[in-house]
Amino acid sequence: MRLTDEEKGIFDGKQGEAARIALSVLSDLGDLFGAEELMRVSQVHIDATLYMVDAGLEFAEKMVDWGGKVAVPTSLNPSAIDLQRWKAYGVPAETLSKHKRLEAAYLNMRATPTWTCAPYQHGIIPRFGEQIAWGESNAIAFANSIIGARTNRYADLMDICAAIIGKVPKFGLHLAENRKAEMLIQLKDFSSSMLADDAIYPLLGYLLGEMAGDRTAALTGIPPDVKIDSLKGFCAAAASSGAVGLCHLVGITPEAQTLGMCLQGSKPQTILEITPQAVRETEEKLRTVKNDGVDLIVTGCPHYSTAEFARLVQLVKGKKVHSSVVFWVFTNRTVYAWIKNNGILSDLIAGGVMVFTDGCPLQYPRESWQFKAAMTDSAKFANYCFSQRGLDAAYGSIEDCVATAMRGKIYRKDSPWSKK
C-alpha cells in the first residue's frame, strides 16, 4: 500500500495510538486485497455494536482509552438489547452493564447513537455514488443495490478502524469495474398478483442470495413500483442466505436502469431462473416449526419503518394478541417517537404488542424468555432463528403473523404463489 505523508505520520503515531492501530489494520486489509492506496469515505456505519463476547467490548474500550474519535459521521447498528426498555425486555442485570459499557464507548468516540439496522431509512443516509464504509449485511446490500452508494462488506471492528481514520483501502465494490453483474437471474412465470404481494420479496431475496453467493447478480422482473420496505426485506434475506454485497435490480438500481448498464459491455457468465415453485419451496424451507404452535411473533428485522407501523396498526387495532403469544416489534428511536406521537403505539399496546428500540431480536435474552417457536415476516430472521438461536421458526406475511398472534396457532392464508 502506498501511504501519503499524512498517513505515514499516523503510522508513526503522530495522531495517537487509536489512529495508529486503526491505520495499521486498514493497511493490512488493503495489502490482503491488493489495494494500492487508501481512499476517503464520507460516512461509516458500525456493526460491532452488539455485545456478544468481551473481545468486542474490550477493543472498543481500548480505542477509547487510546483517544479514538470518529473522523467522519458514524452511525451505529443495533445493540443486542433495548438500551432504554431493558427491564421490560428481560435483560439480566449481570449482562446489562456490558451493553451499557459498549454504548458508553461508542458515545465517547462521538458516534451518532442511531442504534438501527435500517440506517438507509433513519440514519445518516447516503446518496447515489457516495463512497461509504458500512457494516451490517442488510444495510450494505441496500446501500449498494437500492441507493447506489458504494461500500464493501466491512466486518466488525474493521468498521471502527474506518470510522477513526475516515478512509478505507481502495478495492472491491468501491470501484466501478468490480460492480459489474457477473450472472443474470430472471423471474419466470410470475403473475402481477404474485409480485403485488409484499410477502414475496423476502423469499425472492433469499433465493437470489442462495444462487449468487458472493457474486454480483443482475435480477430482471421486479416491478419498478415495488415498495421500499419490500426492497428492505429482499436485501436482508439476500444478504443472509448469500454473501450478497450488491445485486442489480434492473430498472431499480441506479447503475442498472437497463441490463446492459450493469453488464458493462460483457455477457453474464451464468443465467438462472427463479420460478413460483422455487418460492414455494423456499417458504417451506424457512419453516422449521413442526406443528402449528407458536408463542413468539417477531417483526422489525430489519427495524420497522413508519409505513410498516401504519400497516401493522390497521391489522391489530381492536384485536388482542392471544395470552399464549408474545408479539415483538423492533424499530429505531425516531420511528418510536413518531408512533408515540400519532397514537399508533397506544393502539398497539392495547392490542398486546410490545415495541422495542435499539435492539436485535435475534439476541433476545434466553434466560428470561423460554419460547418454543416463532413466526416472523422477516426471511432473514426465519433463516437465522433456528441456526443461531435453536428456536424453531416460520415465515409469513405480516397479515399471517397478526392472525397467528390473535389465534395462538399458525395461520397462513393462501398466497398467489402457493397454488401449483
Binding site for ligand F3S (CB under 6 A): 77-78, 117, 138, 236, 301-302, 330, 360-362, 380-381
Closer CB to ligand F3S, 156 or 400, in the complex: 156
Contact of 79 with 100, CB cutoff 8 Å = no
Among the listed residues 190, 191, 237, 199, the one whose alpha carbon sits nearest the alpha carbon of residue 415: 199
Closer CB to ligand F3S, 330 or 338, in the complex: 330
Please report how close the Cβ of residue 50 comes to ligand F3S at its closest, in angstroms: 7
Closer CB to ligand F3S, 132 or 236, in the complex: 236
Closer CB to ligand F3S, 138 or 145, in the complex: 138
Please report how close the Cβ of residue 141 comes to ligand F3S at its closest, in angstroms: 11
Closer CB to ligand F3S, 71 or 146, in the complex: 146
- Find all residues with CB under 8 Å of 262, minimum gap 6, and list them: 179, 180, 181, 218, 248, 250, 253, 255, 256
Return d(Cα 219, Cα 210) in angstroms, integer: 13
- C-alpha to C-alpha distances, 399 to 141, 227, 376, nearest whole angstrom: 26, 17, 11
Which grid coordinates are listed for 162? Answer: 474506518
Please report how close the Cβ of residue 142 comes to ligand F3S at its closest, in angstroms: 10
Residue-by-residue DSSP string for 308-330: HHHHHHHHHTT----TT-EEEEE
For residue 127, the tally of other CB atoms under 10 A from its CB is 11
Length of the chain: 420
Please report how close the Cβ of residue 359 comes to ligand F3S at its closest, in angstroms: 8
Please report how close the Cβ of residue 388 comes to ligand F3S at its closest, in angstroms: 9
Please report how close the Cβ of residue 392 comes to ligand F3S at its closest, in angstroms: 17
Closer CB to ligand F3S, 30 or 205, in the complex: 205
First to last CA, the chain: 56
